[in-house]
Amino acid sequence: MSMVPSRNTTENSRLGASLGLFWRRWISDPKGIGAVAPSSPGLARRMAREAVLREGEVVVELGPGTGTVTQALIKAGIPEDRLILVELDPEMHAFLVGKFPRALVLQGDAAELDEILPPRFRGRVSAVVSSLPLLSIPMKIRRRIADAVFRVLAPGGRLIQFTYSPFSPLRNAVPELKSERTGFAAFNIPPATIWRYTSGGGDGKARPRLSAS
């Protein structure tokens, strides 16, 4: 009998570790985690499909949690070393550092993205992919997050966000953004809608009138 663990055994133990971490953090901060389960593979795949990476640029992920969407991004062809993950929770952050050793994994608040992102990447971000629990975040902070995101996005860049509401979670906070509903993950718990936000100009020149702070 082989003493080498099978691929299935290794994958199952990784999945167990992710779920254990997710639920432990959810019990200690349900609002901050904002979901009762990690994103489903279907939702992660639909999010990743929207994350276009352009020459010389990077993709930023906000609130990666246990890394389900990160994994889908890599599977969709985004090289791990062109991914920047921003996670607020210290335990999730440490987990992600171990799971994605070639990605740049930052611990911090998405509302301060433009400050915590190393200067060499500012304006060189093709897409920001967000699992942030916007529905439990006050409007003022949602606006600050969008401001920070559009300050680092490259011209023509996009913000991808999922939500459990049938409505856009940024429609009142940042009404000048162009929003498009791009997908629906019926088997996620709970079902989730995916939104794509752009500055509206297409060429990236017509930036939304975002506040200075």
Ligand X SMILES: C[S@@+](CC[C@H](N)C(=O)[O-])C[C@H]1O[C@@H](n2cnc3c(N)ncnc32)[C@H](O)[C@@H]1O
Q: Which of 35, 146, 154, 194 binds ligand X (CB under 6 A)?
A: 35
Confirm or reject binding of residue 96 to ligand X (CB under 6 A).
Answer: no
CB of 143 to ligand X, least distance (A): 13
Are 200 and 211 in contact by the 8 Å Cβ rule? The answer is no
Residue of 48, 88, 105, 117 interacting with ligand X (CB under 6 A): 88
Binding status of residue 132 toward ligand X by CB under 6 A: yes
Write phi, then psi, for 62 (nearest 5 degrees). Answer: -105, 135
151 vs 178, beta carbon nearer ligand X: 151
DSSP 136-188: GS-HHHHHHHHHHHHHHEEEEEEEEEEESSSS-TTTTTSTTSEEEEEEEETTS
Structure tokens at 15: 């999945």
Residues 146-205 that bind ligand X (CB under 6 A): none
Q: Which is nearer to ligand X, 114 or 178 (CB)?
A: 114
Minimum distance of ligand X from residue 137's CB (angstroms): 7
Judged by CB under 6 A, does residue 84 bind ligand X?
A: no
- In whole angstroms, the minimum distance from the beta carbon of 42 to ligand X comes to 12
Instruction: Quote the least distance from Cβ 123 to ligand X, whole Å.
Output: 21
Strands (E), the chain: 58-62, 83-87, 104-107, 125-130, 153-163, 178-185, 192-198
The tokens for 213 are 């702070």
Choices 2-10, 64-72, 172-180, 189-197 (CB under 6 A): range interacting with ligand X: 64-72
Surface-to-core class of residue 47, CB atoms within 10 Å of its CB (0-12 exposed, 13-18 middle, 19+ buried):
buried
Tokens at 138, concatenated: 């006050």
Looking at beta carbons only, is 149 or 210 nearer to ligand X?
149
Work out which of 109, 123, 189, 207 binds ligand X, going by CB under 6 A.
Answer: 109
Between CA 175 and CA 185, with CA 180 as vertex, the angle to 5 degrees is 125
The number of residues that bind ligand X (CB under 6 A) is: 24
**Residue 165 tokens, joined:** 């509401």
Q: Is 97 strand, coil or helix?
A: helix
Among 63, 157, 169, 183, binds ligand X (CB under 6 A): 63
- What is the contact surface with ligand X in residues (CB under 6 A)? 22, 32-35, 38-39, 62-63, 65-66, 68-69, 86-89, 92, 109-111, 131-133
